[in-house]
Structure 1
Amino acid sequence: MSTIETNALYDRDPLEHMALFEGVRTKRIFAFMIDVIAIAILTFMAGIAVFFLGIFTLGLGWLAYAFLWQGVAILYSAFTLGGPFSATPGMRAFGIELRLVDGRRPTPLLAIAHVVLFWVSFTMITPLVLLVSLFSNKKRLLHDIIVDGVVVNSSALARTF
């Protein structure tokens, strides 16, 4: 897909391509639930490794518990959202992916920024941050707007080109 084609897609009125954004808000919520469960399982497994690391380091390794879930969540997002599919496993299960407004896939660093901005906005504004999508023409959330991203239906994106 060339840059000219993708720019033409995202620069147009989103109402011309409603299939890209149909049900995205609901799919994102359910995808988030799957990802939280996956991160919890990975954090539990990493916690076991940190436990043994703490034994071998005479307790020093146990300091990693303070930032364990944050580290797991950041790595999870960097490798999945910033990976070749531009989607976390939860997003892939519901057929959505993150793209930049110009059509490119996010880099791992941008995926980290995306997840950190999500947690900061979610923590500070509570779930009310989801209300931003009600007023956005492409159903974008606050952290999507900041990183210049848009979540679209993968199948509709493939059919568009």
Structure 2
Amino acid sequence: MTATPDPHSQPDFYKDVPFKRLIAWGIDAVLTFLACLVILPFTAFTGIFFFPLLFLIVGFVYRMITLANGSATWGMRLFAIELRQADGTRLDAGGAFAHTFGYTVSWAFFPLQLISIVLMAVTERGQGLSDHVLGTVMVNRRASYR
């Protein structure tokens, strides 16, 4: 396959993806929080004073590494969804970094995140703001075109 699937002729690729994406995001947030709790003693508990920054850094690294090594975070894998680039291939390290950076910027400026959420809910491919900029798309892995 050389491009992302068409939502009209191949709707199984996009079925329930926005909902799965939301639940996967929640799982990833919990995993990031737990990782931060594990790291906290190694900072002599001074990490409590900069916990939001610690959460941001751990979340960035977690998201980038998991996306680069399978095109999906652990939460996404649990719900059998994955990100694909505009040409239909899985994310590489550069694509994972770019997507994670865009996601982080969206969270830093809440109006951007709000726009992203609305786009995921109303567009036919369920793409967020970062997806639109990068040309990526979230699809169901079971329907995937391996």
Q: Following TM superposition, by how much is the alpha carbon of 1:75 offset from its aligned partner in structure 2, in angstroms?
A: 1.0
Q: Partner of 1:22: helix, strand, or coil?
A: coil
Flag the 1:66–1:155 CA change in 2: closer, same or farther, 3 A.
closer
Per the TM alignment, residue 110 of structure 1 is displaced from its structure 2 partner at its CA by 2.2
Q: Greater helix percent: which structure?
A: 1
Structure 1 stretches lacking a partner, 5+ long: 1-5, 55-60
Aligned positions, number:
144
Deviation at 1:99, TM superposition (A): 0.8
Q: Which protein has the larger Cα radius of gyration, Structure 1 or Structure 2?
A: 1
Q: Which amino acid aligns with 2:33?
A: A
Q: Which residue of 2 aligns with 1:25?
A: 18
Q: What's the counterpart of residue 41 of structure 2?
A: 48
d(CA) in 2 for partners of 1:63, 1:110:
32
Q: Which residue of 1 aligns with 2:7?
A: 14
| Counterpart Cα distance in 2 of 1:27 and 1:130 | 13
> Taking structure 1 as reference, are residues 62 and 18 closer, same or farther at Cα in structure 2, changes over 3 Å only?
closer
The partner residue of 1:139 within 101, 126, 135 is 126
SS of 2:144's equivalent?
Answer: helix
* 3-state secondary structure, aligned to 1:14: coil
Residues 129 and 141, structure 1, Cα contact 8 Å, conserved in 2: yes
Name segments (4+ residues, structure 1) moved above 4 Å. Answer: 61-66
Asked whether the equivalents of residues 78 and 109 of structure 1 are also in contact (C-alpha less than 8 Å), the reply is no
Distance 2:78 2:48 in 1: 34
Aligned residues: percent identity?
28
Q: CA deviation at 1:66?
A: 6.9
2:57 maps to 1:71: yes
**Residue 127 in structure 1 maps to residue 93 in structure 2:** no
The answer to whether the aligner puts 1:154 opposite 2:130 as a matched pair is: no
Cα deviation for residue 92 of structure 1 reads 0.6
How far apart are the structure 2 equivalents of 1:115 and 1:78?
6
Aligned partner letter, 1:78: M
